[in-house]
Amino acid sequence: MSDIPLFNLPLLHAPIIDEISENMQSVVSSGLFVGGPEIARFEQEFTKIARLPYAASVSSGTDALVAALVASGVQSGDFVVTVPMTFIATVEAIYHVGATPLFVDIDKNGVMDGEKLTELLKTTDKRIGAVIPVHLHGVMAEMRRITAICLASNIPVIEDAAQAHGAMREGVAPGELSLFATYSFYPGKNLGAFGDAGAVVSTSESGVEQIKALRNHGRYDKKYEHERIGYNMRMDAVQAAVLRVKIKYFPRWQREREEIANKYYDYFNESGIINHLPVKDVNIRSAWHLFTILHKRRDELQKALKKRGIQTGIHYPIPLHLQKACESLGYKEGDFPVAEQFAQQTLSIPFWPGMSDEHISTVAEAILQLL
């Protein structure tokens, strides 16, 4: 068998590439590359995936976070609480609005620990402008608990759902209990464009209208009338054309992700020797962005799998509080032990919708043999 990749975008796109090309071509023919009906249609359709009433498309998941922070009223000099186990874009957005990240550790599922957040908010004397839980690998943080804590302190919550299209926890979707949830449509995401793209969703129509103004140079309605200083953060119409086709297949792909995850679960649960995420919990419906295992000898396992032609990934090998880019925050090793252990043990294994049973068994059996 040839090498097994971590994920396989060409294979995913192959059956629908003509449909996508045709839709892209119709945008090209229309000449409406910025804004226009394709963007509006996509936003409407994405609300169904996000299970929230309002959506604004933007140029990336990073810009979605920046716009949501600005629309939440976060100001220069504020602190914004997030987790050290995320992609750096989460903290970049905080820096971009002139605020400073303040980290809180993760729990056993790799997402913000509600208890530690409570402790932090009780003891800090810093001005907290917002809290950003990150739904890592498709697993939502405990939003019922986190939003209740933040509501009591009047702190807006923005959910970084870049990896969590279609996720649910305790019956709620990202953004349902908070002010905003932000999504990325980076090509490798569960719903991916052919380049960079993102969205902000909310239950608040006026909140989403603010995002639409911010993304378009601070303009609410009339051309050349700017009510605030904004940004150029618009999603390209050709990306909407790609995403509108892929959205039709999204429910099937999500079902396939879940089925494949369950097959991996069966292999690993029977063996009893490997931890996988999330820990089985009926309240968590993962978006299955990645299938992740945790293992003490992760690096050895990764090398041995590579020798057998099995590609893996590490999301993420260095927690953000130990990144050079965040040095000025003054954190040190040992400050967030759960995130640090997670960084040492996490391994993402081959996983994509449509992955064959043969591939699944090859990967699972190789891991079990190598332990």
Ligand X SMILES: Cc1ncc(COP(=O)(O)O)c(C=O)c1O
CB-nearer residue toward ligand X: 64 or 360: 64
Binding residue for ligand X, selected from 87, 194, 268, 316, defined by CB under 6 A: 87
The full 3-state SS of 252-317, as one line of letters, equals HHHHHHHHHHHHHHHHHHHHCCCEEECCCCCCEECCCCCEEEECCCHHHHHHHHHHCCECCECCCC
Cβ atoms of residues 59 and 215 within 8 Å: yes
Question: Tokens standing for 188?
Answer: 């490798």
Determine how many CB atoms are found less than 10 A away from the CB of residue 79. Answer: 17
The three-class DSSP label of residue 182 is strand
Q: Which stretch binds ligand X (CB under 6 A): 23-31, 83-91, 237-245, 355-363?
A: 83-91
Residue 103, classed as helix, strand or coil, is strand
Distance of alpha carbon 351 from alpha carbon 299, whole angstroms:
19
Our finding on whether 184 is near ligand X (CB under 6 A) is yes
Query: Can residue 236 be called a binding residue for ligand X (CB under 6 A)?
Result: no
> Whose Cβ is closer to ligand X: residue 243's or residue 301's?
243
Q: Rounded distance, CA 78 to CA 74, Å? A: 7
Closest-by-Cβ residue to ligand X is 61
Nearer to ligand X, 96 or 217 (CB): 96
Pull the structure tokens for residue 111: 């997402």
Q: Is 23 in the site for ligand X (CB under 6 A)?
A: no
Shortest Cβ distance from residue 216 to ligand X (Å)?
A: 18
Q: Which stretch binds ligand X (CB under 6 A): 43-51, 160-168, 224-232, 240-248?
A: 160-168
Number of residues that bind ligand X (CB under 6 A): 15
Among 101, 174, 198, 278, binds ligand X (CB under 6 A): 198
- Of 141 and 274, the one with the shorter C-beta distance to ligand X is 141
- Nearer CB in complex with ligand X: 233/274: 233
Cα separation, 141 vs 106, whole angstroms: 9
Which one of the spans 58-66, 205-213, 295-303, 319-327 is the region binding ligand X (CB under 6 A)? 58-66
What is the Cα–Cα distance from 161 to 180, expressed in whole angstroms? Answer: 10
- Regarding 159 and contact with ligand X (CB under 6 A), the answer is no
Query: Which residues of the shown chain bind ligand X in the complex (CB under 6 A)?
Result: 60-62, 86-87, 89-90, 134, 160, 162-163, 184, 186, 196, 198
